[in-house]
Amino acid sequence: MSVALRQPVRERAGARCEYCRFHEDHLPLWPFHLEHIVAAQHGGAEALENLAWSCQRCNLHKGTNLSGIDPDSGSVVRLFHPRTDVWSEHFAVDDQGRIQGLTPPGRATAWLLQMNSPERIAIRRLLLTSGHW
């Protein structure tokens, strides 16, 4: 893994997870990861256009997956792609701290990466109510 690419990817992301949007400062005990959007196992390159900044939880849940199941339709769909998709077109955060998937890739990604686990909702709600989100 290229150490030289960590800082440019982190800076491009504003030190936020490009999936669930937590900032590094929100999760100081869990170092963020350099995430391969398309894993090397699937031929993904070690290059800026294939890398994303990710919190540990999102990266570990995503693993090498490229697709997931849209919980609304049960269909297999591609996952959200941080380099080619716009976050706000696929996700929204409600006032309870839940990430809503707005599209099939958004719903499949939110579900697969467990963006709405109880502790993540609790942290997000605390950040929202304190104005730190």
Separation CA 129–CA 106 (nearest Å): 24
Q: Closest approach of Cβ 27 to Zn ion, in Å?
A: 8
Separation CA 53–CA 32 (nearest Å): 7
Q: Which is nearer to Zn ion, 31 or 74 (CB)?
A: 31
Q: Closest approach of Cβ 20 to Zn ion, in Å?
A: 3
Q: Closest approach of Cβ 82 to Zn ion, in Å?
A: 11
Q: Closest approach of Cβ 18 to Zn ion, in Å?
A: 8
Q: Which is nearer to Zn ion, 99 or 104 (CB)?
A: 99
Q: Which is nearer to Zn ion, 19 or 91 (CB)?
A: 19
Q: Which is nearer to Zn ion, 13 or 20 (CB)?
A: 20
Binding site for Zn ion (CB under 5 A): 17, 19-20, 55, 58
SS (H, E, C) 27-89: CCCCCCEEEECCCHHHCCCCCHHHEEEECHHHHHHHCCCCEEECCCCCCEEECCCCCCCCHHH
Instruction: Locate 5 and state its tokens.
Output: 């690419």
